[in-house]
Amino acid sequence: MGIGCIAPWNKKARLWLEGRKDIFEKIRSALGPGWPSPGGSPASSGDTEKYPVIWMHCSSLGEFEQGRPVLEQLRRDAPRSRIVVSFFSPSGYEARKDYKGADHIFYLPLDSGRNARRFIDLIQPTLVIWIKYDYWYYYLQELKKRNIPTLLVSGVFRPDQPFFRWYGRLHRYMLECFTHLFVQTDVSQKLLGQLGIRGNVSISGDTRFDRVFEIAEDPGSLPFIETFCGDLPVIVAGSTWEEDEEELDHYANTHPELRFVIAPHEIEEARLREVESLFRHAIRYSEWIKGKAPQGRRSGQQASWPEPNVLIIDNIGMLSRLYKYATITYVGGGFGDDGVHNVLEAAVYGKPVILGPVIEKYIEAVELADCGGALVIDSALEAESVLNRLLNNREEYLQRCAASRDYVYGKRGATAKIVNYIRQHHLLTN
């Protein structure tokens, strides 16, 4: 009801509603009459083989990238399997609705007993992979009732979560629905142990380390970014909010000899205009690749403007590759209540990472700061001090570069642990 009330003014809410309109008819039509048999032939007679179906559920884009290494390895292991990906959030669905590694991508219908039964009846999953969180009672209950193997991947647990409170019995029941829980840390394993969940819990680490490594190993380039950066020092700031940009704007406006690449977390027009208002000599990526002057400049005035030293990324999907061009990286979100965004995408390239102070919920950000790969700031003045130090102290700079790279490379391997469990327990062949 709340989403319906704000939908006329909120694009995400509108997409959330529109994506779920007639959702079961959309799913039934997309799957076809013979799903999941080869060639779409009905298998009710028993004469036609049914392919195994892997269903991966993600809350949003970040969780999808977290589960992607597991999904793609399972596809290599079982090339005849059918893969279904579901999203709760429009930001995840819209960004990956055309992902070629899945047979079908859907919004998850709202959680109810009837919807859970209908959805599971339609997709007929052999194996279910739940990424990190976004627990839904009726779906998990139905999967347990049908004895469908259900794995939690890259789970993280903290004492302040409802599972560990006096009122959390319903939440604890959802944890009991998982066949196996792969968690990131020993702290999470111990917390689950306090609830009596022990025999089916493994510390696997975080599959995001494997994913960012795959991205960093991709030899592809971004020619327009290379042209913008040239041979100058570059600060790449990713997933930024206004609070983050306010930490950097003065430094960018007073250092024309540097290049800044700003990738806001939201790219609606109003948000992009906010970024442009902070950085005096900025140009949008869409304008840069077309050879146009920044908005508001008349062609006859271009010569009087200094060359842009800030590039604003006004698309989705480039960020993980942008960090490759950085001398120093900045990861946004650390000045907001929800906390910092994905630091691993930046650290994998072996570059220092600057963060705002709200990092306590993100173990990888805390560990990266502890090992020296990240520096936590709490003001614009401190940001400028850190940037000056890293740009002028070569020894410290190289030490922090090495710390970032070593941290990420030393944490790989979660995907292999999860896939090995699936192989050993024949979860795709039973």
**CATH number reported for the structural domain that contains residue 331 in this entry:** 3.40.50.2000
Q: Measured between alpha carbons, how far apart are the two ends of the chain, in Å?
A: 42
Residue 265, domain member (yes or no): yes
pLDDT on residue 297: 39
Write out the residue range of the structural domain in which residue 150 sits.
29-41+50-205+413-424
Residue 327, domain member (yes or no): yes
- If asked whether residues 151 and 34 sit together in one domain, one would say yes
| pTM of the complete model | 0.85
Q: How confident is the model at residue 41 (pLDDT cuts 50, 70, 90)?
A: low
pLDDT on residue 46: 54
Q: Are 71 and 56 in contact (CB under 8 A)?
A: yes
In the block, residue with structure tokens 């009459």 = 33
- If asked whether residues 399 and 417 sit together in one domain, one would say no
Q: What is the pLDDT of residues 315-339, one digit of tens each?
A: 988 899 999 999 999 999 999 998 9
Residue 378, domain member (yes or no): yes
- If asked whether residues 336 and 369 sit together in one domain, one would say yes
Hey, how many other C-beta atoms are within 10 angstroms of the C-beta on 235? 25
Range name among 158-167, 287-296, 398-407 with the lowest pLDDT average? 287-296
Is residue 302 over pLDDT 50?
Answer: no
- If asked whether residues 405 and 417 sit together in one domain, one would say no
Over the chain, what is the mean pLDDT? 92
Q: What is the pLDDT of residues 223-279, one digit of tens each?
A: 999 999 999 999 999 999 999 999 999 999 999 999 999 999 999 999 999 999 999
